[in-house]
Amino acid sequence: MSTAASARKLRMGMVGGGRGAFIGAIHRSAAALDGRIELVCGAFSSDPACALASGADLFLPPARCYESLAEMLRKESALPIGQRMDFLSIVTPNHLHAPMATAAVKAGFPVICDKPLAISLREALDLRAAVRAAAVPFALTHNYTGYPLVKEARALVRSGRIGTVRKVVVEYPQGWLATRIEATGHRQASWRTDPARAGLAGCIGDIGTHAENLAEYVTGLRIRELAADLTSFVDGRQLDDDANVLLRFEGGAKGALIASQIAVGEENNLSLRVWGSGGGIEWHQREPNSLWLKSADQPAQLLRTGTAGLSPAAAAATRLPAGHPEGYLEAFANIYRAFAVQVAAHLDGVSPPTHALDFPTIDDGVRGMAFIEAVVASSCANAAWTPLASDAAPSAMASTQPARAVRGER
């Protein structure tokens, strides 16, 4: 007799993330942190030897280290519930996200997938249809919204604390692609600058979409149209490595989105500033446990993770007392933790508690792809104002050619 999922640890399978990969280890730590999820199987690499060795590194028995996702889905499905994997984590390069997620949900497995969701809006919409048809939980790891004070920022905006939102400035500067390291064999750089594996955008797809997701999450507003100026500063690079974008939101707010991978000396300086008619907020990933709340005619306040008086959403996302810094992994783990609650409810056939739904979903993924395509299309049209496609249907720009998107910009 199988145990209810809510009464046991959840079993996770993983595709991608073998030796030498980057994001797979992040996902595993995030999943492990709260002691609720255990890794039970994986298809860690398309190279069988690497797949096996990677599994051994993770203390998995050889029988649960598969050579392909197809094999994993088939064999895991054959195991009894309570032994087989309860959900799949997808941590491959971008171009494999949608096909693999589609296969998994069709096999009935809940999926948690790295971003971006797909390499085109078309593909994203098809995946959404598959997820809806399968009726399984699906999470996308737009991890930055997992920070307690990002949740606090959202709660402050919702509460009306800063009035009507007027202006949004969101940034994500990095410097690691300031030279052509993809030509030196750098593994991450190699696929992230390759249209075949990364999709039609570089910088804007890799990090710009995080900025977009953060801005919409916190403000609760949707970008209506944008005017984007993409550049590929490094000679020989096919995809954009820099973006300056004007934003217009539904309801009249305006803003700018600045993303770059050639900002020498920058790390991962995601930041967000929002000003409304009655106040402002400011958050920087670099010191994620601080959130500025600004008011007219009052001193600015520094809200801090773990202190009294924060919103329930922020408090629920916090593990430590104030002053003991929480970081990127904890924010990432908040997505896994919330997703796990939903997966357990799904397996038990019950409704998840409302609070467990605070994680990025397939809809965030579709939205992100619409954003990427709008940015590329706008930039191809010399920064013409371009609407974001509605959820229902991709715009005609879905066929945009990535290489052309940036070549004309300089």
Q: 282 to 341, contacts with a copy of itself by CB under 8 A?
A: 285-288, 293-304, 306-309, 319-330
- List the x/- string, 189-228, binding to a copy of itself by CB under 8 A: --------------------------------------x-
CB of 319 to a copy of itself, least distance (A): 7
Candidates 97-105, 106-114, 162-170, 396-404: pick the segment binding a copy of itself (CB under 8 A).
162-170
Task: Look at residue 273 and give its three-state secondary structure.
Answer: strand
Distances in Å between the Cα of 388 and the Cα atoms of 69, 256, 376, 377 are: 33, 15, 11, 10
Q: Out of 117, 124, 162, 343, which residue is the one contacting a copy of itself (CB under 8 A)?
A: 162
Q: What is the DSSP letter of 65?
A: B
Number of residues that bind a copy of itself (CB under 8 A): 94
Residue 25 makes contact with a copy of itself by CB under 8 A: yes
**Is 13 a binder of a copy of itself (CB under 8 A)?**
no
Binding to a copy of itself in span 96-155, by CB under 8 A: none
242 binds a copy of itself (CB under 8 A): yes
Residue 273 to residue 263: CA distance in whole angstroms:
19
Strand order in the sheet with 37-43: 37-43, 10-15, 87-90, 111-113, 138-140
170 counts as binding a copy of itself under rule CB under 8 A: no
Residue among 78 and 297 whose Cβ is closer to a copy of itself? 297
- Asked whether position 278 contacts a copy of itself by CB under 8 A, the answer is yes
Does 28 contact a copy of itself by CB under 8 A?
A: yes
> CB of 62: closest distance to a copy of itself in angstroms?
12
- According to the binding rule CB under 8 A, does residue 345 interact with a copy of itself? no
Q: Does 262 participate in binding a copy of itself (rule CB under 8 A)? A: yes
Q: Which two tokens stand for residue 138?
A: 């699906």
Enter the tokens of residue 176. 């690691």
Least distance between a copy of itself and beta carbon 129 (Å)? 34
- C-beta of 126 vs 229, nearer to a copy of itself: 229
d(CA 36, CA 32): 7
CB-count burial class (<10 Å; 0-12, 13-18, 19+) for 316? middle
Q: Does 233 bind a copy of itself (CB under 8 A)?
A: yes
In angstroms, give the least distance from the CB of 16 to a copy of itself. Answer: 16
| Sequence letter at residue 358 | D
State yes or no: residue 342 binds a copy of itself (CB under 8 A).
no
Structure tokens at 154: 């959202």
**DSSP of 196-263:** HHH-S-SHIIIIIHHHHHHHHHHH---EEEEEEEEE--STT--S--EEEEEEEETTS-EEEEEEES--
Q: Quick check: 32 binds a copy of itself (CB under 8 A)?
A: yes
**Residue 42 beta carbon to a copy of itself: minimum distance, rounded to whole angstroms:** 12
Is 20 near a copy of itself (CB under 8 A)?
Answer: no
Contact 276, 162 (CB under 8 A): yes
Instruction: Assess 59 for contact with a copy of itself (CB under 8 A).
Output: yes
Sign of the Cα pseudo-torsion (35, 37, 41, 42, in order)? negative
For residues 143 and 338, the answer to whether their CB atoms sit within 8 Å is no
Closest CA to 164 of 273, 249, 275: 275
260 belongs to the binding site for a copy of itself (CB under 8 A): yes
Q: Which among 257, 331, 332, 291 has a CA at the least distance from the CA of 154?
A: 291
Q: How far is the CB of 36 from a copy of itself (least distance, A)?
A: 8
Distance CA 116, CA 372 (A): 10
When binding is defined by CB under 8 A, the residue of 4, 20, 22, 74 that contacts a copy of itself is 22
Closest distance between a copy of itself and the C-beta of residue 399, in Å? 25
* Residue 248 binds a copy of itself, judged by CB under 8 A: yes
Nearest approach in angstroms of CB 229 to a copy of itself is 5
What is the Cα–Cα distance from 403 to 399, expressed in whole angstroms? 12
| Binding span for a copy of itself by CB under 8 A among 74-82, 341-349, 351-359, 379-387 | 379-387
